[in-house]
Amino acid sequence: MKKHILFLGPPGAGKGTQAALLSEANSYLHLSTGELLRKEIDLNTELGKQVKDIINKGELVSDQLVLEIVKKNLSNDNKGWILDGYPRNLSQVNSLNDVLIHINQPLEIIFYLDIPEEVLIKRLLIRGRKDDNEESIKTRLKIYKDTTEPLIEYYKNLSLLEYINADGDLKTISDDIKQKMA
Ligand code: B4P
């Protein structure tokens, strides 16, 4: 069973949803950088104040800042972990590689959730989070295409990538993921 997992895919593909299901089923740590940042905003911390506008506009917060969050939360005394929303660019990939070498826990599998753009735009507009408005979604999709999508090729070359059709019902998708975990 794989223990060190990463979910990759555009905003709205279901990364957070599937990562939560998988972490619950296996008692793994679910590390969502987006979720942790939103918590800081809700608590109105210094960090929250710093990132609020950036997130609401759909832009990425600084690499250094998310790296601190990841380092703080990714310890080596857990049963396993699932990264959701990190890394999002090649610089974050390099920082993550350093962290994982340090804790001696290399990535074992990457699930790439693939989905047509029109489906995910609909999903996000229905969800209606503060950053789920048309302007922000446009920015998030552009940033995804420009900076995150190249990671698919990177991880494919390391033979770590598993393709998941994310345009379906939750159960079909999570069954597919479970099967590929073995
Ligand atoms: P995230 O929280 O990662 O948000 P996201 O990319 O939009 O994905 P999300 O998790 O919300 O969507 P999901 O696919 O699960 O990031 C938010 C912001 O934080 C970023 O824009 C950025 O500013 C900042 N940030 C985070 N990480 C960063 C990093 N590494 N570097 C810099 N900045 C960073 O689900 C979407 C919706 O679809 C849900 O409502 C769900 O219920 C629904 N859904 C899921 N599966 C479904 C299915 N099968 N059928 C129907 N609906 C489904």
Question: What is the whole-number distance in angstroms between the Cα of residue 82 and the centre of ligand 1?
Answer: 14
- Across the range 86-92, mean pLDDT stands at 98
48 in ligand 1 pocket by Cβ < 6 Å?
no
pLDDT-based confidence at residue 60 (cuts at 50, 70, 90): very high
Which numbered atom of ligand 1 lies nearest the CA of 37? Answer: 19
Higher pLDDT, 75 or 134: 134
**Ligand 1 site-directed mutation target among 18, 30, 72, 123, most atoms within 8 Å of CB:** 123
The 10 Å Cβ neighbour count of residue 101 is 10
- The whole-number pLDDT of residue 162 equals 98
CB under 8 Å to 11, separation ≥6 — which residues? 120, 124, 137, 140, 141, 144
- The whole-number pLDDT of residue 76 equals 72
pLDDT value at 137 more than 80: yes
Percentage of the residues of the chain whose pLDDT score is greater than 90: 96
